Structure 1
Amino acid sequence: MRVRQQGITAAACVLFALVLGLVHAGERVPSDLDDAAWSAVDGWPHGVLRALVLPTEPYVLLPVLAAVALWCLRAARPGDALFVVLGPAVAVAVNTWVLKPLFDRWKGDTLVYPSGHTVSMVATLVVVAVLVDGRARVVTAVVGVVLLACAAAGMVGLGYHYVTDVVGGAFFAVFAVLAVRGLVRSRRTRPDRGR
């Protein structure tokens, strides 16, 4: 993805995530869309729902990120390895400590917008998509959409999140990772003024 395309995509994603968050800020009840999503997965077996959520878990995502970072280092791409570490870390940190308290959306006694599970998984997928080219990028995007749909069903069915939390988390993760990519890239290409 070209730098300009990344910038436009990032801007559109953060705008959508912020607008969706403002629409549901301070809510403690589901929207009509959230109710419809819940109805679609209500009654699915617990084991199936739990399996659908697995791709969002840290014990799945952290080894993937470690493997991608090692691959970057072996390929003599230290800037990309830094991006692999910083992209998801920044996304999760900002989501947890800034956005969730800012939007103040609750499900039971938990802040839920944007979904942290979703931010973690989508951030990882975006990192991979940015680092690969051509057909591999298309495959990553398709796999990502399927995983996101499955994870959304699992999280909604288990009562972790409303579907709007998942959508907002996905858009925010795309923005955050692309923003970090831009910062890492600009730092690498900045001329050394000390020489």
Structure 2
Amino acid sequence: MRTIRVAAAVCGLLALLLGLPFAGGTGPGTVDRAAAAAVAHLSPGVVGALVLPTEPYVVLALGVLAVVLCLRAGQRREAALALAIPVLAILLTGWLLKPLYDRWKNDTLVYPSGHTVSLVAVLTVLVLVTRKAVVVVLSALALLAATAGLVGMGYHYLTDVVGGTLFAVSVVLFSWPAPRRVPVPSGG
């Protein structure tokens, strides 16, 4: 459990530090411009499809899936947290971090990406609930697609997405309970 808390602290610190150079409305950096150029050739239809994982109805469906999986496993506390923790991450992003960093794009605060925070928080919960490699791989693919879509649609810079990813992982890892130990029956 200590390793998870250390990972959470590192992700949180990196998210906070990554946004500093862009605070106060600074435009794109070199990496942001390179990422935008890399997806500029994608058609609007492809970019629209790539951003689909960040849509609220997709994120909500994934959250409900996490709750159902927890309830089926008899983990009521985790089921409640599967909903509460992503909401906490989203609220902290919108109410605290975005105004604090004050980074703008298209008349919208963008650092860290709220689209990304909502998706990654729910995906991180799903990974913790299932503990399956296939869920990790599918989550990574969904995040890569969403990243290309968010940058390609012009909603966010790459650094916004990376910051949102780091922050969401940090909040979930800090907030998720330690696995319960199952008592071993005595032999005598």
Structure 2 gap ranges (5+): 182-188
Q: 2: CA distance between counterparts of 1:141 and 1:72?
A: 17
Pick the structure with more helix per residue: 1
Contact 2:82 2:125 in 1 (8 A): yes
Give me the CA root mean square deviation: 1.7
| Partner of residue 56 from structure 1, selected from 54, 57, 73 | 54
Measured against aligned partners, the alpha-carbon deviations of 1:74-99 in whole angstroms (never above 9, x if no partner) come to 33210110110111111101001000
| Partner of residue 160 from structure 2, selected from 135, 158, 165 | 165
Q: 1: CA distance between counterparts of 2:7 and 2:126?
A: 16
**Which residue of 2 is the match for residue 42 of structure 1?**
40
Contact 1:86 1:180 in 2 (8 A): no
Shift of 1:113: 0.2
Contact 1:28 1:107 in 2 (8 A): no
Instruction: Note the 1:8-87 alignment, pairs <5 A.
Output: 8-87=6-85
Q: 2: CA distance between counterparts of 1:47 and 1:98?
A: 33
**Which residue of 2 is the match for residue 143 of structure 1?**
138
Q: Normalization by structure 2: what TM-score?
A: 0.91
Structure 1 gap ranges (5+): 190-195
Q: Normalization by structure 1: what TM-score?
A: 0.88
**Which residue of 2 is the match for residue 96 of structure 1?**
94
Contact 1:114 1:165 in 2 (8 A): yes
**Which residue of 1 is the match for residue 184 of structure 2?**
none
1:155 aligns with 2:150: yes
Residue identity (%): 48
Q: 1: CA distance between counterparts of 2:129 and 2:72?
A: 14
Counterpart of 1:82 in 2: which secondary structure?
helix
